[in-house]
C-alpha cells in the first residue's frame, strides 16, 4: 500500500527548539537558526514570546509580544542587516557602554 500525499502544513512559521545560544525557526519546510549573538533582543524573551511569531508575508517575520520585525533573509545573511534596536544594551545582557576597571 502506498502512502498518501503529505497534507498542507498548518503553521507557516514555528519555533522548533530553543537553546542558550539561540532558537530554530521552521519557515515552510526550511529550518533556520536565530543566534542570540546576531539577534540580541530575543535573548531575554520568554518562551511564550519567542513562540508567538507570525509570517505576514513570505519574506517578513513578526513577534507581536516583542514588537520585533525581521526580514527572513536577515536570518541567512545577518552581516547584510545591521542591528537596529530600541532596546538598550543593558536590557539584552550586554555590557556595552560600561567602562572596565583596570587592575
91 vs 2, more confident:
2
Q: Give the Cα separation of 33 and 41 in Å (integer).
A: 15
| Beta bridge mates, 28 | none
Exposure of 25 by Cβ count < 10 A (0-12 exposed, 13-18 middle, 19+ buried)? Answer: buried
The contacts of residue 35 (CB under 8 Å, 6+ apart) are 21, 22, 78
Residue 75 pLDDT level (bands cut at 50, 70, 90): confident
Q: What number does CATH give the domain 13-92?
A: 3.30.2020
Contact between 53 and 15 (Cβ < 8 Å): yes
Per-residue pLDDT at 72 exceeds 60 = yes
**Domain residue ranges of the chain, discontinuous segments joined by +:** 13-92
Amino acid at each position: 500500500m502506498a502512502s498518501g500525499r503529505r497534507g498542507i502544513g498548518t503553521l507557516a512559521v514555528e519555533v522548533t527548539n530553543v537553546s542558550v545560544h539561540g532558537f530554530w525557526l521552521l519557515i515552510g519546510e526550511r529550518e533556520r537558526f536565530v543566534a542570540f549573538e546576531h539577534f540580541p533582543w530575543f535573548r531575554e524573551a520568554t518562551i511564550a514570546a519567542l513562540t508567538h511569531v507570525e509570517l505576514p508575508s513570505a519574506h517578513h517575520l513578526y513577534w507581536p509580544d516583542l514588537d520585533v520585525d525581521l526580514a527572513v533573509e536577515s536570518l541567512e545573511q545577518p552581516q547584510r542587516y545591521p542591528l537596529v534596536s530600541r532596546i538598550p544594551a543593558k536590557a539584552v545582557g550586554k555590557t556595552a557602554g560600561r567602562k572596565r576597571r583596570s587592575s
